[in-house]
Structure 1
Amino acid sequence: MNESPQEKRQRALARMEEVYSMPFGDGEGEFWRYTADHLFADVWSRPGLSDRDRRLMLIGLLTATAGHDVLTIQVPAALASGDLDAETLREMVVFLAHYAGWPAAARLNSIVETEIAKAGKGSRDG
């Protein structure tokens, strides 16, 4: 794709908004440039994996590596986008408890239940 840096940034910001289901303004600095122009314009835009696939992997990885801060972004985004529903997120907690450890899954469970309640997206059925 032969696009200007400005066009790439606009594509990156549009992809970020799509992934996170919320508006993003432009940022500054090298970290922001790599986040927008590489991670979202390139990596999150590659063919081969759906956004749901990416979220499943990312939430698993973040749970296993204590990425609490990013889980608080990814879990509500997954619910808002419809990539993952309440039932799927709750199943992920049970599954990840056995592979990532109970304390890590307990932290994920707290985020999941908080975000499900905020979104009003699922009753607790055991």
Structure 2
Amino acid sequence: MSTQKSTSAAQQMYGDIAPKLADMTDDLLFGDIWARPGLSHRDRSLITVTALTAQYRIEQLPFHVGKALDNGVTSDELVELITHVTLYSGWPAGVSAIMIAKRVFQERGLLAG
């Protein structure tokens, strides 16, 4: 039996140059914060996509749009979320977020083209 844990997305993306940051992402962010009982993963995904859109953190959005879909948020709900937060966060942030969401939806076969 192997004692090595599977390689996480954080380990794959930046674990080679920032192993401690990758460990913190795995253990603190996803292992602790995302595991707390106060909110469902679905709710945490809605909050995270909203915050990333509002703060124009487009580098993180593809992962979290996909995670939201995995956590039961529908593509229609994500479009509505982004549309709503655009009026509060700014047009460029909203348009960038919707284009990222569109790409993730296409990659997952949720949209034609």
Same fold (TM > 0.5): yes
Could you say if the C-alpha distance between residues 64 and 25 of structure 1 is closer, same or farther in structure 2, counting changes exceeding 3 Å? closer
Could you say if the C-alpha distance between residues 91 and 36 of structure 1 is closer, same or farther in structure 2, counting changes exceeding 3 Å? same
For structure 1, which segment, 53-62 or 113-122, has the greater mean C-alpha deviation from structure 2 after superposition? 113-122
TM-aligned CA deviation for residue 25 of structure 1:
7.0
Name the structure 2 match of 1:111. Answer: 100
Could you say if the C-alpha distance between residues 25 and 64 of structure 1 is closer, same or farther in structure 2, counting changes exceeding 3 Å? closer
Number of residue pairs the alignment of both structures matches: 104
Could you say if the C-alpha distance between residues 65 and 33 of structure 1 is closer, same or farther in structure 2, counting changes exceeding 3 Å? same
Name the structure 2 match of 1:39. Answer: 29
TM-score, length-scaled by structure 1: 0.71
- Of 57, 63, 84 in structure 2, the residue corresponding to residue 67 of structure 1 is 57
Q: Does 1:53 align with 2:53?
A: no
Could you say if the C-alpha distance between residues 74 and 32 of structure 1 is closer, same or farther in structure 2, counting changes exceeding 3 Å? same
TM-score, length-scaled by structure 2: 0.78
Q: Does 1:30 align with 2:20?
A: yes
- The secondary structure found in structure 1 opposite 2:84 is helix
* Identity within the alignment, %: 30
1:71-82 correspondence runs (5 A): 71-79=61-69, 81-82=70-71
Post-superposition Cα deviations, 1:83-124, rounded to whole Å, max 9, x if no partner, equal 21111111112101111111110001101111112212257x
Residues in 1 aligned to 2:99 and 2:9: alpha-carbon distance in whole angstroms:
29
Gapped regions of structure 1 (runs ≥ 5): 1-6, 14-22
- The secondary structure found in structure 2 opposite 1:45 is coil
Would the aligned equivalents of 1:86 and 1:122 in 2 still touch at CA under 8 Å? no
TM-aligned CA deviation for residue 56 of structure 1:
0.9
